[in-house]
Chain A
Amino acid sequence: EAQVTQNPRYLITVTGKKLTVTCSQNMNHEYMSWYRQDPGLGLRQIYYSMNVEVTDKGDVPEGYKVSRKEKRNFPLILESPSPNQTSLYFCASSFHGQYPGELFFGEGSRLTVL
């Protein structure tokens, strides 16, 4: 089954404790992206990657890191989480350079930073 898998789905952590949210896709997509969703603000892009070892900042990259060492995986790293990073996070993937390039989303990871 074609899917984007995120882990963990739910996480409560404390300020400053490093965490990683994993994302894996099995569709051989070149493009992967992380979004955060907050009430009234919609989906905002954090980072994206157009292929292995190619990443770029989205609109709200502060406080986050990513890496793309393998095509299928695109982990999101919070080195020192803060309460303003409490949010619902979505990983998404798509084929790059092909129309229409719709995004396939993971189920989401709800993060609470205390």
Chain B
Amino acid sequence: QKEVEQNSGPLSVPEGAIASLNCTYSDRGSQSFFWYRQYSGKSPELIMFIYSNGDKEDGRFTAQLNKASQYVSLLIRDSQPSDSATYLCAVKGSGGFKTIFGAGTRLFVKA
């Protein structure tokens, strides 16, 4: 079992729709959870982080964390073509030293 798993996609949504990205992790002691966005050929950039159970909203983005289910998700409301990218789920493990990444989900937002 991979430490951080994501559906590789591609996920295709129409402009204005809600995009839902999911991630599961194996280390129950994990402390912090991140979503990074990566455009093709570019470096990852942080969108959101979350470390408490529940929802965290920032503009059009909402991160959701359920530690009991070892599940993290990212919702993108009112999706725009500029949101088309690969979204990386990352988990900081129980030791606090390593950040493990999922393989990423490719999102396409159709205009």
Contacts and interface: CB of A to CB of B under 8 A. Distances in A.
Contacts of B8: 40
A102 B49 contact: yes
B34 interface: yes
Interface residues of B, number: 25
Contacts of B99: 33, 45, 101, 103
Contacts of A103: 34, 36, 44, 46, 90, 99
Nearest to A6: B43
Contacts of B36: 103
A13 B36 CA distance: 31
B49 A42 contact: no
Interface string B26-48: 00000110101000011111100
Given A48-B98, A90-B43, A105-B43, A40 B51 contact: no
19 contacts: A33-B99, A42-B102, A42-B103, A43-B44, A43-B88, A45-B98, A48-B98, A56-B97, A90-B43, A97-B96, A100-B32, A100-B49, A100-B51, A100-B92, A101-B96, A101-B99, A102-B49, A105-B45, A107-B42
A105 B101 CA distance: 13
B92 A106 contact: no
Contacts of A105: 43-45
Nearest to B44: A105
Q: Which of B8, B45, B90, B96 has the most CB of A within 10 A?
A: B96
A58 B51 CA distance: 23
Interface residues of A, number: 25
B26 to A, nearest CB: 14
Contacts of B45: 105
Contact of B101 (A31, A43, A97, A108): A43
Given A100-B49, A101-B92, A41 B97 contact: no
Interface string A41-63: 11111001010000010100000
A9 to B, nearest CB: 11
